[in-house]
Amino acid sequence: MNKYTRKHLEQVEGYTPGEQPTESGFIKLNTNENPYPPSPRVLHALQSLNTTDLRKYPDPLSTALRRACARRYNVPGEDWIVVGNGMDEILAMALRAFVDPGDKVVTVYPTYTLYEVLCRLHDCTLHYVALDANFQMPPDLYAEQGRLCFLTRPNAPTGVAYPREEVRRFCATFKGIVLIDEAYVDFGDDTCMDFPEQFDNVIVTRTFSKSYGLAGLRIGTAAARPELIREFVKIKDSYNLNTFSQAAGLAAIEDEDYMRQRAGQVRATRARLRDTLLDMGFDVPESSSNFLLAQWAGNPDAETIFRSLRDRSILVRYFKQPRLENALRISIGTDEECEALVASLKNILAV
């Protein structure tokens, strides 16, 4: 650490994203991207941009996109929505807007590992409450208080969606902000998007990186009451969503049928892959997301399987941390990609 760096950053390690290989030829099942392209309307919208659109600054408030999101999320108006450069930016902004350095933030364990990194960067304390043996919300979570709680539903990397009524009960008892991260919601059965109208402390966040197949364009959203949204707007970069992303996001969200159809394909492949993995001896919780957590108690161990798959040009995610060290997180690919994965796994495990 050099002498110019802020003191609290000495202990902080940055987030390690899943591998994005620069060479081609990999089957990428490691970062929960969509295996299918975005709606054809997206490319059309991008191709329709002209040099004037590029010369000028983007709309600082992404008005058209926010309006379309409000319609699709069924919230009262665009003043209930803010957009960000990916949901990750929204998560960082939530800490900056609602949590003072030194304050307590709550989440469950295991969950999205970025929360911990963001809390360290912001110099606040993250308190974990362990999920139960089935990766469901534990009773002691209801006794917790803090300035903010990150609750991912469906959760990552487990894929489990807690019952909606449990989340509602938690929102009613928690006195700080409850941020419900719905990155994977379009691959599940229900949403908590109606909660901001019921609770003044709830923010529901979404991303275009998964179900809309637009991870490369970095578009995330938050829905909450206008008095909370105004705090995001106060602190955000003036032009946090570029012209390309605004145009692409708008085209994508207006083609709801396309997104639903692709999400349906992912769900069908997910069901088949889960059955196959169960037959092979993996323990796999039911997933409402575009990935499966495949737990493996046998030999070779999960880390070895992860490396052997990589040697065969198949990337999955391995987390060397408690409760996950015997598991692989496998993003749902196309049927062909999943068949190649299964063939390699059978080979590695000799089953």
Ligand X SMILES: Cc1ncc(COP(=O)(O)O)c(C=O)c1O
The least CB distance from residue 168 to ligand X, in Å, is: 20
- Give the closest residue to 34 by CA, choosing from 243, 279, 214, 260: 214
* Closest chain position to ligand X (CB): 86
The DSSP letter of residue 56 is S
**Binding map of ligand X across residues 315-344, x = CB under 6 A, - = no contact:** ------------------------------
What is the per-residue burial (b if ≥16 Cβ within 10 Å, else e) of 149-176? bbbbbbbbbbbbbbeeeebeebbeebeb
SS3 assignment for 297-323: CCCCCHHHHHHHHHHCCEECECCCCCC
Residue 181 is a binding residue for ligand X (CB under 6 A): yes
Binders of ligand X among residues 75 to 114 (CB under 6 A) are 86-88, 112
183 vs 252, beta carbon nearer ligand X: 183
Residue 183 is a binding residue for ligand X (CB under 6 A): yes
Burial degree of 198 (CB within 10 A; 0-12, 13-18, 19+):
exposed
Contacts of 108 (CB under 8 A, 6+ apart): 128, 129, 130, 131, 137, 138, 141, 151, 155
With CB under 6 A as the contact rule, the residue among 34, 191, 209, 243 that binds ligand X is 209
The least CB distance from residue 89 to ligand X, in Å, is: 7
75 vs 108, beta carbon nearer ligand X: 108
The least CB distance from residue 169 to ligand X, in Å, is: 22
With CB under 6 A as the contact rule, the residue among 27, 28, 30, 32 that binds ligand X is 32
What's the CA gap between 70 and 253, in Å, rounded? 11
Q: Segment contacting ligand X (CB under 6 A): 63-71, 188-196, 207-215, 271-279?
A: 207-215
Residue 154 is a binding residue for ligand X (CB under 6 A): no
Interface residues with ligand X (CB under 6 A) are 32, 86-88, 112, 152, 156, 181, 183, 207, 209, 215, 220
